[in-house]
Amino acid sequence: MERRRNVTSWMIVSLTISLAAFGAGLVAFGAVGAGHSDRAGLAFLAATFALGIAWFLIVIAAVFVHRWRGLELLIGAPFALCWPTLLVLFTHVAANPSIATGG
């Protein structure tokens, strides 16, 4: 009988990285620590994307190691994917002004 593997350590790492990605996005968009330069904002924005990619790779690795139990790590998705998703949506609207005006 195979012993069930514990995903707790994977969950802790996953949530830490996803919360760090969310926090870096807050700093990048000026919600926290608004006294930084534009260069620092871009650095935090790059960190948000890098941490989101790292989170995604950890989820993929956990699914390979733990199979279905690895999907529990998706609980960090809202934090890790919030800012990249919003940035892509805002960029799409900015590139297509007819969407913003409703025409």
1 pLDDT above the threshold of 50: no
Closest Cα to residue 10, out of 74, 89, 53, 86?
Answer: 74
Rounded to 10°, the helix 77-95/38-66 angle is 130
Whether residue 49 contacts residue 91, with contact meaning beta carbons closer than 8 Å, is answered with no
Tokens 């260069």 appear where?
39
Whether residue 33 contacts residue 78, with contact meaning beta carbons closer than 8 Å, is answered with no
Q: Count the neighbouring beta carbons within 10 Å of the beta carbon of residue 28.
A: 23
Instruction: List, for residues 67-80, the tens digit of each pLDDT value.
Output: 888 889 999 999 99
- The pTM score is 0.78
Instruction: List, for residues 8-53, the tens digit of each pLDDT value.
Output: 899 999 999 999 999 988 888 776 666 667 777 788 888 999 999 9
